[in-house]
Amino acid sequence: MQREAAQSYADELEMKAKAELPDYVYGYFAGTAGGGESVQDAAAHWDAVRFRPKAFTNTSEGLTRTSILGTQLRTPVLAAPMAHQNAATPLAEIATARAVRRAGSLLGVSTNTSVPFSQIAAEGAPWWFQVYVMKDRGLSSALVERAAAAEAKALVLTVDTTRLASSELVIDPQLWPETPGKRRLANLLEEDLSGLSEDATRGAEDLTLDIIGELRERSGIEVIVKGILRGDDARRAVDAGAAGVLVSTHGGRRLGKSVTSMQALPEVVQAVGNDCEVYVDSGIRTGDHVAAALAMGARAVFVGRPVMWGLATGGEDGAAAVLERFTEELRLTMAAIGANTIRDITSDMLWRPQATC
């Protein structure tokens, strides 16, 4: 029953956010590519995982703490980088960072944030900077240097959305007339942009593997590649210097008929799981889903829209409640499957670990 109750928790939170947000903001946050097939399948695929609980284990402590690239955290439930959080709550990533600090989690900060890095960093939560490489590479270089100087612990290079699939997912400034959601790229200065064409900040559509080493060198911090759905791509990214890969369908915003991240995770873990940390997101809606992902070999999960719904309905408190609830549900699932610590959640706890529904 916990799973069903938790499933409806995420849905109910979304309905509450929908009622409170302007239609165009809700439409952007909830938007999907194509016919939304990947989103429809995502939670269902995580739901379809079945566990083989272990008996005679000590589950008295239920420890959810873990480490991610050496950063100690109290939970493997992390906040995904999402653009335009200021359209959900005026404090935007400042609220998210506070929520993340309370939950003992980690924050992904989008290239399209409206908040200066220094203000996010001042909240004391560990954070990673998500990089969209722009047509003007100098702008991306400036951003990653500034993020590293503001003590971002790693870069998350998004490789799946050099061009968004649906026009609904591209923000038309005309549609955001009065909202602060119109502001983005707060970490670029006016002088960075002066003399450049409108096109300069658009995504580069000719990315090659060299970019991983370039970003690493430029920033001095590790690079994780986000948006990987194939074992061979994961292998190439790691061979080119990536410290981790994030299996993701971008929350179904890139390609309607994409495989789900649950379907892609096993082949990615098989390809690079011994060499680097593997993370996963898209469609994670309950603690059971988190446990399933960890049992399949993910080191941690990122949660996107539910955190946005939390921000929209309750600001810092709302986002903290989502991260804490998913963590508490994970603790319950751990007790039920016979895991006392995160390390105890192993692939033998899955029934048919390679199941693809």
By beta-carbon proximity to ligand FMN, the closer residue of 83 and 144 is 83
Residue 253, token pair as written in the block: 């915003």
132 is in an annotated binding site: yes
Q: Can you state the angle between helices 305-337 and 93-103, rounded to 10 degrees? A: 10
- Range list of β-strands (E), 54-143: 66-68, 71-73, 77-79, 107-109, 127-131
* List 6, 21, 49, 80, residue binding ligand FMN (CB under 6 A): 80
Question: For residue 185, which of 128, 111, 275, 87 has the smallest C-alpha distance?
Answer: 111
- Residue 130 contacts ligand FMN per CB under 6 A: yes
- The minimum distance between CB 303 and ligand FMN, in angstroms, equals 5
- Residue 325 contacts ligand FMN per CB under 6 A: no
By beta-carbon proximity to ligand FMN, the closer residue of 142 and 164 is 164
- Residue 88 contacts ligand FMN per CB under 6 A: no
User: Would you give the distance in Å from CA 173 to the centre of its chain?
Assistant: 25
* List 9, 26, 29, 127, residue binding ligand FMN (CB under 6 A): 29
Q: How many CB atoms lie within 10 A of CB 175?
A: 15
- Residue 292 contacts ligand FMN per CB under 6 A: no
Locus of tokens 């949660």: 303
221 is in an annotated binding site: no
Catalytic residue IDs? 250
Amino acid at 338: G
By beta-carbon proximity to ligand FMN, the closer residue of 64 and 258 is 258
Name the β-bridge partners of 228. Answer: 247
- Residue 289 contacts ligand FMN per CB under 6 A: no
Residue 174 vs residues 24, 47, 94, 184: alpha-carbon distances, Å:
11, 39, 26, 14
- Residue 78 contacts ligand FMN per CB under 6 A: no
CA distance 102 to 100: 5
284 is in an annotated binding site: yes
By beta-carbon proximity to ligand FMN, the closer residue of 229 and 295 is 229
119 is in an annotated binding site: no
* List 83, 106, 120, 272, residue binding ligand FMN (CB under 6 A): 83
Amino acid at 44: A
- Residue 303 contacts ligand FMN per CB under 6 A: yes
Residue 82 vs residues 5, 66, 169: alpha-carbon distances, Å:
26, 23, 12
By beta-carbon proximity to ligand FMN, the closer residue of 140 and 158 is 158
Which residues contribute to the annotated binding site for FMN? 81-83, 110, 130, 158, 226, 248, 281-285, 304-305
Residues in contact with ligand FMN by CB under 6 A are 29, 80-83, 110-112, 130, 158, 226, 248, 250-251, 281-284, 303-305, 308
